[in-house]
Chain A
Amino acid sequence: MGNLPGNLNAAGAWRPRRAFASIPLLLASLIALISLSATAGEPYRFDATGYLGEAGLMPDWADTMNREAAQSALLDVCLADADVCPRYYRGLRHLLLRAEGLPPKKQITLVSRYVNKKRYQDDRTARLASPLSEEPLKYRSRWATVEEFMRRGGDCEDYATTKYYLLRRLGFSADQLRIVITWERGERGYHAVLAVHLPSDEATEVLLLESDDTIKRGRRHRYRFIYSVNEESIWDHEAKQTSVSRKQPASLIKETST
């Protein structure tokens, strides 16, 4: 007993020294600190971590990209000639033409504010998992194109996709943009934001464009990032076991998609 760091009390029982007695308290504090830091999410990062596969693997998003490609010609024509512009594009035409010469940060703010002014509309539709399935109906949200959003509004992922395509028109590359699906801890719901990767002279900045008019700059916030997409890829930010390196041969992924 003489080797143990403590003393015997009056009853003869071993009593640890005061320094050791505080260890449980220190451990509890450490656990509390760790859980607090987990609640405040990490900033979003634009790296290849979590690369899951090509964008075309996600049927709904692939469908939106195809529709956008087919419909974008109308906006091209509209930008070239105001007389052939449908009414729902005239305000957007003015905005895009005025935004062309602005610095990137101003373009981002302008596009985000303009899109946020559009009407919110829940566009969920009930779908069966498959025609033969007896599972209950699943509610799915169709991701809108720019034209669809300008005509009838949309919900949060439609705000994000519209900002994505408008910034692409203003010269941002696909590598700079990702539509990010998040779990919002405070609201306890899923949310979509557009992440913009903005290299500057001093540092690389990541902006999260919100549908409430705020633009969050790479600081901690209350999001848990689930996945993100752009025209080229899907990134899975949660399931590390299924995530693969970008160096993984694409043929392996294609093999299963056919």
Chain B
Amino acid sequence: MRKLIILAASLFAASAWSDTATVKIYSLDVMERVQTLELIDVTAEKSPSANAEGLDAELQAILDEAVAIEATDEEE
């Protein structure tokens, strides 16, 4: 009986230790991965594409008005 209790206690301790170790590895992985992702240098420059869909009259008018306001402000 005593052997059985010792065995059960050992198994319990082993499983608890195992869980802790897994959590630490997982947490380190996440932080390392985040640091790696942050180092990705994103600088692509794109010119307007010929494949872009045309704007409908309403949207084109709003866009033109906004650009015109900015142009006026730059002239001042």
Q: Is the CB of A122 within 8 A of B69?
A: no
- Chain A contributes a number of interface residues (CB within 8 A of B) equal to 59
Q: Is the CB of B52 within 8 A of A252?
A: no
With A110-B62, A253-B27 already in contact, the answer to whether A214 and B69 are too (CB < 8 A) is: no
* A99 to B55 CA separation, bound complex (whole angstroms): 14
The residue in chain B whose Cβ has the minimal distance to the Cβ of A61 is: B38
Shortest beta-carbon distance, A71 to chain B, in Å?
19
User: Is A91's CB within 8 Å of the partner chain B?
Assistant: yes
* A252 to B31 CA separation, bound complex (whole angstroms): 11
Q: Is the CB of A52 within 8 A of B34?
A: yes
With A110-B63, A155-B45, A190-B44 already in contact, the answer to whether A255 and B52 are too (CB < 8 A) is: no
Q: Is the CB of A109 within 8 A of B41?
A: no
The listed residue (A98, A189, A236) touching B44 by CB distance below 8 A is A189
User: Is A59's CB within 8 Å of the partner chain B?
Assistant: yes
Shortest beta-carbon distance, A207 to chain B, in Å?
12
With A53-B30, A212-B48, A256-B30 already in contact, the answer to whether A191 and B39 are too (CB < 8 A) is: no
**Which residues of B9-27 are within 8 A (CB) of A?**
23, 26-27
Chain B proximity mask over A185-222: 1 for CB below 8 Å, otherwise 0: 00101111000000000000000001111110000000
**Which residues of A212-247 are within 8 A (CB) of B?**
212-215, 226-227, 234, 236, 239, 241-242, 244
Q: Is the CB of A187 within 8 A of B31?
A: no
The listed residue (B32, B42, B62) touching A156 by CB distance below 8 A is B42
Shortest beta-carbon distance, B15 to chain A, in Å?
18
With A52-B30, A256-B27 already in contact, the answer to whether A90 and B43 are too (CB < 8 A) is: no
The residue in chain B whose Cβ has the minimal distance to the Cβ of A92 is: B66
The listed residue (A94, A116, A140) touching B41 by CB distance below 8 A is A140
Q: Is the CB of B49 within 8 A of A213?
A: yes
Q: Is the CB of A156 within 8 A of B27?
A: no
Shortest beta-carbon distance, A222 to chain B, in Å?
13
Q: Is the CB of A191 within 8 A of B29?
A: no
Chain B proximity mask over A154-173: 1 for CB below 8 Å, otherwise 0: 01110000000000000000
The listed residue (A98, A215, A236) touching B53 by CB distance below 8 A is A215
**Which residues of A64-97 are within 8 A (CB) of B?**
87, 90-92, 94-95
Q: A106-B58, A234-B37 are in contact. List 17 more A-B contacts (CB 8 A).
A: A57-B30, A91-B66, A98-B65, A106-B59, A110-B63, A138-B39, A155-B42, A155-B43, A212-B47, A213-B48, A213-B49, A214-B52, A234-B34, A236-B37, A241-B29, A242-B32, A257-B31
Q: What would 5 A/B residue contacts be, using CB atoms closer than 8 Å?
A: A53-B30, A91-B70, A109-B59, A244-B30, A257-B31
Chain B residues with a Cβ under 8 A of chain A:
23, 26-34, 37-49, 51-53, 55-56, 58-59, 62-63, 65-67, 69-70, 73-74, 76
